[in-house]
Amino acid sequence: MPHVIVKAWPGKSRENKEALAYGIVRLVQETLGVPESSVSVGWEEISQEQWPEQVYRPDILEKEETLLVRPGYVPAELSGNKGQ
């Protein structure tokens, strides 16, 4: 407890991923008052083409009640604005 999963487009370096992961661990420790050993961070790379169906629809649209921060975009594939 807790486990955080970061989903992002491919292309970030191992150093970028680790810097973000350890930053998340520090923030979770400070905010929730838990030891570092109880925090884990995963990283999943999802291509831009797969993002609408593998991330946006299941994790954002279908779980709106769990979102604490909403994104400021809607993928064209899901907005009805294909080709615009």
Catalytic choice (2, 10, 52, 75): 2
Do residues 56 and 49 lie in contact, with contact meaning Cβ atoms separated by under 8 Å?
no
Q: Is the separation of the CB atoms in 6 and 20 below 8 Å?
A: yes
Mapping DSSP onto H, E and C, the string for 36-51 reads HHHCEEEEEECCCCCH
**Residue 2 is among the residues annotated as catalytic for this protein:** yes
Backbone angles phi, psi at 76, to 5 degrees: -55, -35
Gap between the Cα atoms of 1 and 39, Å rounded? 6
What residues are labeled active site?
A: 2
